[in-house]
Structure 1
Amino acid sequence: MTIDGILFDVDDTLVDTKGAFAKALAAVRAEYLPNVPPEREPELVSHWRTDPGGYYRRYTSGEMDHVTQRRLRAELLHQTFGAAPVTEESFEAWDALFWGTFEKSWAAHPDARAAVDTVVAAGIRVGVVTNAATDLQERKLKLAGLPGLPVLVGVDTLGFGKPDKRVFLEGARLLGTAPARTAYVGDEPTVDALAAHEAGLTGVWLDRAGHRRGPGYTGPPLPDGGQGDLQDPAALRAAGVVVIETLADLPAALGYGPR
């Protein structure tokens, strides 16, 4: 394949958002969920990341704002783990603890900086397409040690996010590359990689060890119309997706190197 441009996802692709969520939810557990022992904190993280209520997906489709989706997820988290209810009145303090801890915990994955530098050194255009707000992701990348990486499309750009094909096509347009010569790299197999593939880009699933969503993960159906195992590398490869385990594998997977 010939690749002229690479678009990256941010959360859990370039930035260790799972790790930041773990620290934020540990703080929440200690303050608001005393009935949940510390050893169950991974369950809290899995619940948050799988979004069983579908609230983040409703945010990315333009149905609700960012703070509302977070409040509803907090309410469901407390309900699921048998804690005192989160109300609209108590949410402000809850969110100050959660979001404050989350922001302070942003850090790039160890392979992120080198991956971006290698793309640039190879003469390939690089940018970001994300399902969060553009200004938030620009600030996150800067604080995580990845400044200057252009955030081309956020959920606020078109009013909706991935897996809508128009999001990937807009990213390629703004990058100045043809979709067929553009790769999209993300940690979600369906919302990122498969959706990009179906939009005409090269979809790359970054299947990081220990970073898959829990068993409640859902996404768009596979091309045969079924759901199956949405995190099965063999199934995704059969559907036309490139699968890598680390960003260091990207040059070999896409066939580029320094020019």
Structure 2
Amino acid sequence: MIKAILFDLDGTLLDRETSLKQFISTQYNRLPALHHISQDSYVSRFIELDCHGYVWKDKVYQSLVSEFSIETLNWQDLLQDYEKEFLHYCIPFSNLYSTLSTLKTKQYLLGIVTNGLGTFQRRTIQGLGIENYFETILISEVEGVRKPDPEIFHRALHKLGVTPEQSVFVGDHPTVDVLGAKNIGMKAIWKRDRHWAEPVKVDAIVEDLSMLPEIIQMFNNS
């Protein structure tokens, strides 16, 4: 019987690609020091350097400052602006709130296990306005361990008081999320992402978060 559902954050609950494009476009518009660059060039190069969130933003901004010869702002200024302002551009995937509400109504325990920096990820969750749906939130920097290490999954399950067999993980990364969860005995649901190849070992695939309650009910009926 499934009792708990754990989620990744970026690319699963947060539509990170859309959020990032909106933030970067607005950052460009707000900062005249960038206007010797075309907006399209600035946005597209940021996204390329960001590598779907797997490159730290200090490295991204250092590269941008160097490549585009940005002179009146340094990379620390741009990074600080990102850390301060990004939460205002956090866009959820469709049906996020209704799905979380449905799962809570059905008495499932909910949690987030995300890689990333503690303060920034908590601000992202705040930007989405979803913190009150979750019984536990684990962030890799705070925990000192990153997915797909089994330890961070086990810590989350321990906090919820459930076993791997009573739990489902929902995430977009085939290795970090799906395989990481499967390796400790959890069921895994892949939130389809065009950037990643379909996982080999997965219990279900969702195109939209609204599919989750029915799939989890099917797990319980099987």
Q: Normalised by the shorter chain, which TM-score bucket?
A: 0.7 to 0.9
Distance 1:48 1:136, change over 3 A: closer
CA shift for structure 1 position 184? 0.8
Relative to the length of structure 1, the TM-score reads 0.70
- Provide the C-alpha distance between the structure 2 equivalents of 1:139 and 1:116, rounded to a whole number of angstroms: 19
CA shift for structure 1 position 151? 3.8
Q: Deviations over 1:202-231 (max 9, x none)?
A: 1211015xxx43xxxxxxxxxxxxxxxxx2
Q: Deviations over 1:57-114 (max 9, x none)?
A: xxxxxxxxxxxx32112223556xx42279xx81222223333442221233331111
1:5 corresponding residue in structure 2: 4
Which residue of 40, 53, 75 maps to 2:62?
75
Contact 1:24 1:97 in 2 (8 A): no
- Provide the C-alpha distance between the structure 2 equivalents of 1:188 and 1:43, rounded to a whole number of angstroms: 23
- Provide the C-alpha distance between the structure 1 equivalents of 2:213 and 2:59, rounded to a whole number of angstroms: 40
Gaps of 5+ in 1: 56-68, 214-230
1:180 corresponding residue in structure 2: 165
Contact 1:7 1:128 in 2 (8 A): yes
- Provide the C-alpha distance between the structure 1 equivalents of 2:50 and 2:117, rounded to a whole number of angstroms: 19
1:228 corresponding residue in structure 2: none
Q: Does 1:147 align with 2:146?
A: no
1:1-259 residue pairs with structure 2 within 5 A?
2-29=1-28, 31-32=33-34, 34-38=36-40, 41-42=43-44, 44-50=46-52, 55=55, 69-77=56-64, 82-84=67-69, 90-148=74-132, 149-208=134-193, 212-213=194-195, 231-233=196-198, 236=199, 238-255=200-217
CA shift for structure 1 position 191? 1.2
- Provide the C-alpha distance between the structure 2 equivalents of 1:101 and 1:23, rounded to a whole number of angstroms: 11
CA shift for structure 1 position 239? 2.0
- Provide the C-alpha distance between the structure 1 equivalents of 2:97 and 2:149, rounded to a whole number of angstroms: 28
1:226 corresponding residue in structure 2: none
CA shift for structure 1 position 241? 4.3
Distance 1:49 1:29, change over 3 A: farther
Distance 1:151 1:22, change over 3 A: farther
**What secondary structure, in the 3-state scheme, does the structure 1 residue paired with 2:131 have?**
coil
CA shift for structure 1 position 135? 4.8
- Provide the C-alpha distance between the structure 2 equivalents of 1:38 and 1:108, rounded to a whole number of angstroms: 24
Q: Deviations over 1:165-220 (max 9, x none)?
A: 11111111111110122111112222112221122211211015xxx43xxxxxxx
| RMSD value, Cα | 2.9
**What secondary structure, in the 3-state scheme, does the structure 1 residue paired with 2:5 have?**
strand
Contact 2:171 2:177 in 1 (8 A): yes
- Provide the C-alpha distance between the structure 1 equivalents of 2:122 and 2:175, rounded to a whole number of angstroms: 24
How much identity, in percent, do the aligned residues show? 20
- Provide the C-alpha distance between the structure 1 equivalents of 2:104 and 2:65, rounded to a whole number of angstroms: 44
CA shift for structure 1 position 32? 3.1
- Provide the C-alpha distance between the structure 2 equivalents of 1:114 and 1:196, rounded to a whole number of angstroms: 25
Relative to the length of structure 2, the TM-score reads 0.81
**What letter corresponds to residue 153 of structure 1 in structure 2?**
L
Q: Which has the higher helix share?
A: 2
**What secondary structure, in the 3-state scheme, does the structure 2 residue paired with 1:132 have?**
coil
Contact 1:24 1:99 in 2 (8 A): no
1:218 corresponding residue in structure 2: none
**What letter corresponds to residue 58 of structure 2 in structure 1?**
R
Count, aligned residues: 215
**What secondary structure, in the 3-state scheme, does the structure 2 residue paired with 1:109 have?**
coil
Distance 1:93 1:157, change over 3 A: closer
